[in-house]
Amino acid sequence: MNSEKPLLSDHRPPRCVVAIAFAFASLLCCGAVPATAQSVVPTPPAVPGPLQTPPLGPAPAPLASPVPSTTAPSSAAPSPSATPYTGRRLNAYHLSADRIAFYSNRYVLGADGRVTVTLGDGTRITGNTFYNDLRLNRFVVAGDVTLSVAGREIHGAAFSEYFDFDRAYFVPLLAEPDRWTFAGGDYVHPLFGRQMPGDTFFLPDLSGQSVAIYSKVATIDPRQSIRFSPADVNFGMARIAFPSYFLNYSPNPNFAQNSLTGAFADGPLDFAGGEHALATAHLRYDSVNHVFLAYEEHQVSEDHYLVASINPLTAPLKTYNFQGFDRLSPGLQVTGTFQENAFQSAFHTPLSATAYGSVAVTGSLPHSSLKLSASQYYDSLLAMPNTSSLGQPFYFDPSHPWIPDHPDQVFLTWLGYRHQINQLPLTFQLRSGYGVAGNGPYGEAALGGVTVNDEYSTEIGFSLATKTLTLIKDQSGHHDDLYLTGSFDKQRQWYSLPNHVDTTVATVSLTKIFNSQLTLLTQYTNVNTGDFFGAAQSAEFPPNASYFNFYTGQTVLVSPGFRGFGTTRGLVEQLVYNPNKALTLNVSMHENHDFPRPVAGPLELLGDTVGFVNFGSSPYEADLDLRYRINSVLVLDIARSYYFNFGGYERWAPQFSFQIEK
């Protein structure tokens, strides 16, 4: 068969987190798709069998006199010996048919009409029907089957290949019924009369199942990927034709990592990849950029991943994200996150750019773990411009100011494992940490307007939590019990300003399930916060702090009565209704009592959503969320909140949250 030209590196990439510049340079590189039918690996040992294994080579002409299942004449049946290896075909293989269909909800690949399967060593199987169960990693060809190997053709009723066990099974058309087993890729020397698995030639019933992808040609890399060339992809409301579609179904969870920013709708197109690589183009929509393109690339192994993305590609304000993870040993791992935001035309020199970087190393200790994390913020990556307006430098436009700040921090955290207290249904966990934060040459503000180079902090904390307790047991046996859970958390943080902050959080919740369709949840939470400055308390929390609310045109006091100490008591009642697999309705009611009282805030853009930003919690809030599975590919999610006229103007959230997910 014709092998594809390599597109992305399919070799195991280096197990390390590389610099951000190298990550984005790799987006432009090309490498290899999984090896196709020409792949050959070293010869494994021959697999002996308990029965004689006469070769097919010297037999009479094919079709006329197939090899009998009983002992063959001595001229055609030499004594068993190591057989020449014909080449393993356990990497990618080629499939063509009049109609190929991929059923995403069953992970089954089916084909009908002039089916041709070409394995990696050139062995060819033809037939009328083909099914590949991708989870079981095996395929079946049935109906007028022809096995072509070593220049010969043998007709049969069905052929089945089990990749995980390196075994193939064949029902030949002979004068007497028989069954053949092939081991180790040796199709020239069948093992006669061996016992076969009971479901060797099982064909699944896919009637009523929706098809996600249609094609006529596919290259399948077992347990890794399928390339359809060309492909019609069913997006639920329309079928869209693509010259090629690359489907990655690897069980490696590292392929699921996502570095893209949020969007209301996302249509991914995997167009290149392999066992350790995946490249995806995205057609997306949000309220700011509307319809736009984005790009994401993965490089993974069992112990690491590197994920890079550009979002959007077609708008001036671009976000470059890079995430990395590496498990250096069973007890040591490193993670990294890097982001750059640039306002630029195409990929020219940006008008302004900011960046953020964070690296964390986590190691295991006896009954605990230790984590060292460091982060850097770059409010302006570009050099200070010469232009200025009212003394404030900016890049070509006042909306792109130059900000010299460079905040950074390093923190060391110790986290104990959760331990059970004797035989009680109660667990506890301890934690502590030490860190330092700075702002480059500009320092941090301290008491009385004094600037210090660095600010140090120390924290200790503990938490108690109950296991799930059954208050009222359901006697029907449907597990519709009434459950109780609770937790208590206490933390103190000391700062070098000097001050310290105490935080206490107590939570108790009740859960009741009805007929596995309706779930009711009630949760009460009490949060106490205190920021202690001693004699400087009133200086740090003045009574006249205010802000201008452009929504109402009024100046509002931010913290009337707030002196650094506050309490929030919250009650949540939630209902989750799931009548079937397609529909989920989530309705929740929040009731909050703040001291001091909350203040209604202005409208602000939070990512892609416009919302109210309050000082404190809204006294009342109702949230509604509806999820509907349109088909096996798409899920529609619609959500909105109501704030019961808080502040005289906060009623419904300014807009619906609308998402289409794949």
Q: How far apart are CA 604 and CA 622, in angstroms?
A: 20
Q: In the structure, what pLDDT confidence band is assigned to residue 20 with cuts at 50, 70 and 90?
A: very low
Per-residue pLDDT reduced to its tens digit, 462-498: 999 999 998 888 877 777 889 999 999 999 999 988 8
End-to-end CA distance of the chain: 34
Q: What is the pLDDT of residues 526-565, one digit of tens each?
A: 999 999 988 888 888 877 777 666 556 667 666 666 788 8
What pLDDT is recorded for position 82? Answer: 39
CA distance 574 to 622: 10
pTM, two decimals, is 0.70
CB 544 within 8 A of CB 560: no
Summarize pLDDT for 431-455 with one digit per residue, the tens. 999 999 988 766 666 555 667 778 8
DSSP state string for 481-533: -EEEEEEEEEEEEEETTTEEEEEEEEEEEEEEEETTTEEEEEEEEEEEEEEE-
Question: 163 and 151 in contact (C-beta within 8 Å)?
Answer: no
CB-based burial label for 637 (10 Å; 0-12, 13-18, 19+)? middle
Cα radius of gyration (the chain): 32
Q: By the 8 A CB rule, do 204 and 131 touch?
A: yes
Whether the CB-CB separation of 538 and 544 falls below 8 Å is answered with no
Structure tokens that stand for 339 in this block? 């982001």
- Computed over every residue of the chain, the mean pLDDT equals 80
- 629 Cβ neighbours under 8 A, 6+ residues apart: 581, 582, 583, 635, 636
Mean pLDDT is lowest, of 131-145, 321-335, 388-402, 482-496, for 388-402
Quick: pLDDT tens for 111-155: 999 999 998 888 899 999 999 998 888 999 999 999 998 888 889
pLDDT exceeds 80 at position 661: no
8 Å CB contact between 303 and 331: no
CB-CB neighbours of 632 under 10 Å:
16
* Burial class of 515 by CB neighbour count within 10 A (0 to 12, 13 to 18, 19+): exposed
pLDDT confidence band for 48 (50 / 70 / 90): very low
Give me the residues paired with residue 549 across strands: 554
The proportion of the chain whose per-residue pLDDT surpasses 90, expressed as a percent, equals 39
